[in-house]
Amino acid sequence: MVTRTQVNGARGFVVGAARNSLMHESMPFTSACPTCGAQHLQRGFSPATVKRLLADGYPIEAYCVLCDKFWPISVRERVDLAKALTTDEDLTGAMDESVLFTSICPNCFREQQQQGYSRSVICSYLEGDHAIEAYCVKCGEVWEISQQERVALGKALLAAGE
In order along its 162 residues, the chain shows pLDDT tens digits of 444 444 444 444 444 445 454 445 678 888 889 899 888 888 878 888 888 888 878 889 999 988 999 999 988 888 888 888 776 444 344 434 677 888 999 999 988 888 777 778 888 888 887 888 888 878 888 889 999 999 988 888 888 774
Element (H, E) at 157: helix 147-159
pTM comes to 0.44
Is residue 40 within 8 Å of residue 64, measured between CB atoms? yes
User: 14: burial class by Cβ within 10 Å (0-12, 13-18, 19+)?
Assistant: exposed
Listed as own residue / partner, the contacts of 38-46 with beta carbons closer than 8 Å and 24 or more positions apart are 38/64, 38/66, 40/64, 40/65, 46/22
Element (H, E) at 56: helix 47-56
Those residues with Cβ within 8 angstroms of residue 100's Cβ, 6 or more apart along the chain or in another chain: 113, 114, 115
